[in-house]
Every structure is written in structure tokens, then in C-alpha cells.
Structure 1
Amino acid sequence: MNAPSASPAGPSPHSAAATPPIPVPTRPSSPTRPAATAIPPIHAAPSAQHSSPVGSTARRELGQTLQALRRQTHLSRKQVAHTLGWPQTRVELIESGRIKPNHRLISTLTRAYGIDLDRSPDLLAQLNDATQPAESDKLAWIRSHALRKTTATALDNAGQAARQIADQLGQAKVSITQDTYLHRQPANPTAVQALEHAFDDPNLA
């Protein structure tokens, strides 16, 4: 006598209904590992470029915001400067907070990023803070040429040779130092003193 054939594989409706689903255990979160928080896109730690003096904290923070906006557009400083017809150093000075900003300057810059400054209240607030007077504004009249000329004059008066002064200024050609940064010294100081004394004499006819 043949054995009864086996029933097709698979649970029967009665067995499926009778067997409750097996719960999947969840891994408890560790109390020592808090949930991750979103990293803010700006206000990062200052980079090496901020080692130079900045006008104020507000200007540095504005510069960091503008730098983040530039990076969102995937533009380099060189590309932005070329688009606006600016020297690249101007973009660098703005982003490092080493230049006093104004509405026209920042509005021109943000337009290159597709942003209307007057429709960005948060950015306008940052700009307003950055335009407040800072201690560094007292030195705004000093330009690099004036500082180099003052240095050259002081070293010249101290008896330094033109080659030594050129080395201090980082100039390869002594002629540039002599023609641009050094004023002509009297060839004969004794003769100059004699002439000054002669013209001071009221009896000179």
C-alpha cells in the first residue's frame, strides 16, 4: 500500500494564524553617544588666512558667510575677481575680514552669487554690524607704498646701503629701490650748511 503523498510546501492558513509574528529586537541607543547634530555651514574655525589682523569680529564673520556663499556656487576667488573686474586680493580681503565693507561693495559681490543683498535680511544685518567703526580703521590711511617708503627712509638715514635696503624690501633690483623709495641725499652736507648760513646773513648783498 502506497504512503499518502506529502502536501505542498508552505504554511497552512490555520498554522499561520496560530503563530504570532516574531518581533525583531531593536538595538538600544547608547547613553554615552548622543544623537548627531547638523554641522553649521558657516562660522567654522578660523583658517590660517585669519592670522593677519582683522578689522573686527563682525567683519570676519561676514567674510566667512560670503566665503561659504561663494563655495556654494563652486566659484574660485580668481573666477569671481575676473567676473567683477576686481583684483583677486579684494575678494581675499573681504573674506578674511581685513577690509571695511559697504553696501555697494557687498551687493556687487553677492550678485555674482545670484543673491540680492536687499532681499537677504540676515546678510544685511551682518553687513550692518561689519560697517561699525573698528580700531583698525585708524590705520586705513597707511598704504603699502607709504610703509615701504618710510622703511626705506629710516634705513637710509641709519646709513644702510641701497643693496641692504633693497634686500629688506624684497626687491631684486637696487635701481628700483633707489629711484622709487630713496630720496636724493645732499652730495656735500658741508656745502649745504655753508649756503644756509650765508643766506641767513642779513648783510648779504
Structure 2
Amino acid sequence: MAANGTRPLTRIQQKNTIAILEAALDVFSAKGFRGATVDQIAKAAGLSKPNLLYYFPSKEAIHQTLLAGLLDTWLAPLRAIDPHGNPTEEILTYARRKLEMSREMPRESRLFANEVLQGASNLETVLKGELKPLVDEKAEIIAGWVAEGKLAQVHPYHLIFSIWALTQHYADFDVQVRTVLPESEAGDPFEEATRHIDTMFRKLLAV
């Protein structure tokens, strides 16, 4: 269906819709929702403002479409934690997946970070309706592993927050990371970051 839900998209309309969403991801991730404008998105997409508004009636509509499209991808690594798996390896795998997402999807990470920093008004339904129940579920699993003596005494929620902070930092503060690192590592900080995070959490979780 078209962005306005009225009719199937032609090939050109599909191309323009993708161009708009790609441009919007660039603009929103750099400027946040409040700082972004329809004019900026249209220019980045190579379209006129009236042409863009044919596909999406407002900046809010573009933003909501982006967030909805990214949500499943963003939450997938957390959903993948298996209560029947090896506890340490399940958590380490989650951390590695989150770090890999920072490597492959830095704009998406900054999109969510900017939205949260600005009060998350466009994410409130997601945070309360999807993220919190999922985190509650996984925190209960982690607490169970701790109670069974399979993990060290860690606070499940703060463990998850720590993974978010350590992994998303490499996307949200990419310029700082690459500026501060030695030149030999700045080109690709993720290989060493993976080793560091793996070692740190393995020691933290060890019984």
C-alpha cells in the first residue's frame, strides 16, 4: 500500500518512498525530531516538498513510519535470549548482537537516542507497550539464572542497561570514539570493542 494507505505503489512511488525514508533517517538521526524539517528531508531525498507531502502528510508521519519499521529489528536481539540456553553465552551473544547493530545501523541507534533525549513523546507507546514487557520478561529469566547459581549476583535490569550503554555508545558517540582511539584502531573500533565487552561481561557474570 502507499504511505497514505490508499492504493498500491507503482515502481516509481516505491523508489520515492524508500528515498524519503532513507533521507529522513539521515536527517532525524543527525538533528533529532524537533530539529528536523520537511524541507530538509525533501532536499536530502532529491524531491520537492509538495512531492514529499504526496507520500507522507507530515514530518510526524515520516517519523512514525521509520520507528514502526525499525522496531522489530531493534528488539530482535533481546527477544532472542533463550531461557533454555547457556546463561552466560546467551547474555554475551546479546551484547555482541547489540554491538554489531551499532556497527551496521548507527543512524537507527542515533534516531532512537535522539528521540529518548527529547522526551520520547513519539516513543512512549513503544517504550511502555513493547519494550518494558520484553525487558521485564528477560529480566525475570536473568533473575532465575542468578537464583539457580548459574550467574553471579547481578541486577537484571542494570545488566541490560549496561549492555545498551556499552554497545550503543559506539554508534551514538562514533565521532568521539574514533577521535580518541589510537589511529591504528580508529578505522574499525568494533573488533577490539567486541573482545573488550566479551571479556568484561564474562568476568562480571562468572560464578
Name which structure has the greater RCO, CA cutoff 8 Å, separation 6+.
2
Q: What is the TM-score normalised by the length of structure 2?
A: 0.26
Q: What is the TM-score normalised by the length of structure 1?
A: 0.26
Flag the structure with larger Rg.
Answer: 1
Greater fraction of residues in helix: 2
